[in-house]
């Protein structure tokens, strides 16, 4: 056990890290070494870029990078890059794009672009006095002392849009917040927001302790706990929607347009009221969202956290998409809270991220948010369409079939045979394995 504890691991070369890892955990396996090295990029300068994205790197972890074409968004055609390993995600997005191509396509707009951060603090004193001091003195000082930090952002049209004092004492004793609202333009803004908040903390603490308004007891019972941005951005929202006459909802499954619209709306309503369904419903949306977020070098963990928090903001977890039928018109939309950037982070470093943004015509951050919302809506439309007609497994398992035969070590000839056999059959790992075994045992 002691041999598995190491000091100075980060200082080892990549080769030394791999040697230590294989010796301690896989008995010096050359197979593991070869696998890890197999994924190194042969161009050393490109590998160096990848190595410096994070710490203790020993290899690269590849995710398939695909394209979903034919997206008509605000009367402009897009091919959307998607990085995902899950079967049928790209195919489903492309299928939705094709379905809506001659029905007006996707329409989008930004409902807000404000991001938030907080200084969390404890104050045991007179609330009214604190509020008055904040409004009459502190708020102006916070903006003034952050002027150097916000200069470049203000030049680009962003910066601090508001600062508020928030009383949270009903939820936690003596707990207050300084809530900052920010417009970060084309950057996701985490570093900018956190720098502002930390300056708020310094200014707040200095001004509070030198103020004559608060007595010694209040000053002793004042404590700043932390300063940090929030990944929940309910005022930074992109809307994507599709709409058409019900009669145009013709589906090759044989279901009538009227029944299609009714069943589709019911499926969405079920996700609105039933959290068990909403979780899977929204997961499907995030299949589309995350794949574009990853392909464009943005933080999919932040995007996930924000989306699921927003789905719960009324006290019950619910659907991110909504459907309405009115005057014989079908309307399906998503309001997606999302914070993205096209500058900073990996956006100017990762070659595929740069390529993704070029493919998308180098969008602004606000336009990228809307494109991502479209990807989420398209994915959800494809999933619900399958669920209310042929069932989700028919399309998904066809895509998954290749994964199964690859796991079973099938040759190209065997793959073609199995794909043909299961063209109109139910697919499962057991059934595929059985058919492959039969094939292999058939006398040549």
Q: Please write down the HEC assignment for all residues of 89-121.
A: HHHHHHHHHHHHHCCCCEEEEECCCCEEEEEEE
Say how far apart CA 324 and CA 142 lie, in whole Å: 45
Say how far apart CA 142 and CA 161 lie, in whole Å: 12
Say how far apart CA 200 and CA 165 lie, in whole Å: 12
Q: Specify whether the CB–CB gap between 245 and 260 falls below 8 A.
A: no
| 235 annotated active-site | no
Q: Provide the mean pLDDT of the chain.
A: 93
In which band, very low, low, confident or very high, does the pLDDT at 347 lie, cut at 50, 70 and 90? confident
Catalytic residue among 272, 290, 299, 350: 299
Paired with 237 in beta bridges are 337
Report pLDDT for 399: 61
| 86 annotated active-site | yes
Q: Which two tokens stand for residue 441?
A: 């045992």
Catalytic residue among 33, 179, 283, 308: 283
Name the least confident of 115-124, 260-269, 340-349: 340-349
Report pLDDT for 388: 95
Q: Do domains 68-112+234-390 and 115-229 have the same CATH topology?
A: no
Domain residue spans of the chain: 2-51, 68-112+234-390, 115-229, 396-441
Catalytic residue among 17, 120, 281, 396: 396
In which band, very low, low, confident or very high, does the pLDDT at 390 lie, cut at 50, 70 and 90? confident
Residue 83 has pLDDT above 60, yes or no: yes
Beta-carbon contacts of residue 80 (< 8 Å; ≥ 6 apart): 67, 68, 69, 71, 93, 97, 292, 360, 371, 374, 375
Say how far apart CA 349 and CA 66 lie, in whole Å: 20
Residue 188 has pLDDT above 80, yes or no: yes
Residues constituting the chain: 444
Name which CATH class applies to 68-112+234-390: alpha beta
What are 246-259's pLDDT values in tens digits? 999 988 778 999 99
What are 123-159's pLDDT values in tens digits? 999 999 999 999 999 999 999 999 999 999 999 999 9
| 299 annotated active-site | yes
Which residue would you say has higher pLDDT here, 83 or 417?
83
Catalytic residue among 86, 274, 304, 414: 86
CATH of domain 115-229: 3.30.70.420
């Amino acid at each position: 056990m002691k041999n598995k504890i190491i000091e100075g691991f980060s200082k080892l070369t990549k080769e030394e890290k791999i040697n230590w890892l294989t010796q301690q955990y896989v008995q010096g396996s050359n197979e593991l070494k070869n696998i890890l090295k197999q994924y190194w990029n042969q161009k050393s300068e490109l590998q160096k870029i990848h190595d410096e994205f994070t710490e203790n790197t020993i290899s690269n972890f590849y995710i398939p990078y695909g394209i979903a074409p034919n997206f008509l968004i605000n009367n402009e055609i897009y091919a959307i890059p998607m990085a995902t390993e899950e079967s049928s995600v790209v195919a489903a997005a492309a299928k939705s794009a094709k379905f809506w191509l001659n029905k007006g396509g996707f329409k989008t707009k930004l409902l807000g672009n404000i991001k938030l951060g907080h200084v969390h603090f404890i104050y045991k004193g007179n609330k009214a006095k604190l509020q008055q001091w904040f409004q009459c003195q502190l708020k102006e000082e916070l903006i003034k002392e952050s002027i150097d930090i916000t200069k470049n952002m203000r030049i680009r049209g962003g910066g601090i849009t508001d600062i508020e004092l928030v009383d949270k004492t009903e939820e936690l004793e003596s707990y207050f917040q300084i809530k900052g609202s920010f417009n970060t333009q084309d950057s996701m803004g985490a570093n900018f927001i956190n720098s502002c908040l930390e300056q708020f903390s310094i200014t707040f603490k200095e001004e509070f302790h030198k103020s004559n308004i608060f007595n010694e007891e209040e000053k002793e019972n004042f404590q700043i706990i932390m300063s940090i941005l929030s990944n929940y951005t309910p005022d930074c929202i992109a809307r994507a929607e599709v709409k058409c006459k019900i009669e145009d909802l013709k589906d090759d499954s044989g279901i009538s347009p009227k029944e299609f619209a009714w069943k589709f709306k019911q499926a969405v309503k079920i996700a609105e009221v039933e959290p068990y369904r909403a979780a899977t419903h929204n997961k499907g949306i995030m299949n589309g969202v995350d794949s574009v977020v990853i392909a464009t070098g943005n933080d999919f963990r932040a995007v996930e956290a924000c989306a699921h928090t927003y789905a719960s903001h009324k006290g019950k977890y619910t659907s991110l998409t909504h459907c309405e039928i009115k005057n014989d018109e079908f309307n399906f939309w998503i309001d997606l809270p999302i914070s993205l950037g096209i500058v900073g982070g990996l956006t100017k470093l990762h070659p595929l991220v740069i390529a993704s943004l070029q493919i998308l015509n180098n969008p602004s951050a606000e336009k990228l948010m809307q494109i991502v919302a479209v990807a989420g809506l398209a994915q959800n439309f494809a999933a619900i369409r399958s669920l209310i007609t042929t069932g989700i497994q028919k399309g998904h398992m066809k895509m998954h079939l290749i994964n199964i035969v690859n796991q079973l070590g099938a040759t190209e000839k065997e793959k073609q045979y199995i794909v043909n056999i299961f063209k109109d059959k139910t697919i499962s790992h057991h059934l595929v394995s059985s058919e492959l075994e039969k094939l292999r045992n058939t006398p040549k």
